[in-house]
Amino acid sequence: MRTAPCPFVTNGHGLNLAAACDGVRTMNECHRGCMKPPVSHPLFARAYACSTPAMDRAGAAEHRRRLLMRLTGRVIEVGAGDGANFDHYPAGVTSVLAVEPEQYLRGRAQQRAARAPVPIEVVDGVAEQLPVSNQDFDAAVVSLVLCSVTDQDQALRELHRVLASGGQLRFFEHVRAESLVLRRVQRLLDATVWPSIAGGCHTGRDTAATIGRAGFRIDRLHHFRFPDVGLSLPTSPHILGAASRVSPVRDTG
C-alpha cells in the first residue's frame, strides 16, 4: 500500500472523527482511526439504488452502453454504485475491478457482479487513493461519480496513475452548465443543500477541465442533456467521452 496522506482530513468533509486521524496517516490507517468509513450515505445509497432502473429506462442504459462499447482488457471502474454498468461490459473485457466505498451500494454491486457477462470483483476503496498498483489497467470507467468524490483533482491523478501507458479513461458525468443562469443555480445548490442530500454530489463541476489537468488527452467529448425532456435542471448537462493517458505517471505521494 502506498503512503499518500489521508485526503479526508483538511478538506471540510467532516470526517476527522478521531484524534488519531491527523492527515499524515494513509487512507488505510484512517479507515482504522476514524469512527466511520469516509463515504457513508445510507439514505442516499438506498434511494439511488431504487432510482437506477427508472434512470436506465429514461435513457441512462443507452448512455452506459455507449460509455463501455468496444472496451477491452483489464478495467477498473471507480464508484461503481449498485453496479448499474455491469450488464453493459462487452465481451472483450477480460476482468473488471469495481471500487465502491459505500457499504450498501457495494453489497448490491456484489450481487450484480455474480450475474455479469464478464468477471467482476467488487472491492472497498475511494477514488482518491485506489487500492491498486501503478499502470495495472487498460481502461478506467467513471459514471456519475466525479461529481461526488471529495477531491476531483486527486481522483483523476489516481486514475491516471493506475492506467497503463495509452490506457483509456471512459467517463459519463453530469457537469457545469453552459448557461450562466443555470450555472448560478448550480453554484447556489453546491454551496448549500445539494451535497448533503445527494451523497456528496456537486452539480457545477468542470469535469472535462479536470480530466485534462490530470494528464489525459480528451479524444471524444459529447455534451448532451439528460434527461432530454422538459426544462433543464441543474443536473441535466452531461458529458460522455474517452480520454487517453498521455503524460507520465505523477508522484501523488
Binding site for ligand SAM (CB under 6 A): 39, 48, 52, 78-81, 84-85, 100-102, 105, 126-128, 143-145, 148-150, 199-200
6/127 with CB nearer ligand SAM = 127
Report which residue's Cβ sits closest to ligand SAM: 81
Give the number of C-alpha atoms closer than 13 A to the C-alpha of residue 63, restricted to the C-beta side.
28
145/239 with CB nearer ligand SAM = 145
What's the closest the beta carbon of residue 106 comes to ligand SAM, in angstroms? 8
45/243 with CB nearer ligand SAM = 45
213/217 with CB nearer ligand SAM = 213
96/127 with CB nearer ligand SAM = 127
Give the C-alpha separation, 240 to 224, whole Å. Answer: 8
CA distances (Å), 53 to each of 26, 59, 63, 195, 224, in order?
37, 10, 13, 23, 21
Residue 59 · residue 227 · CB < 8 Å: yes
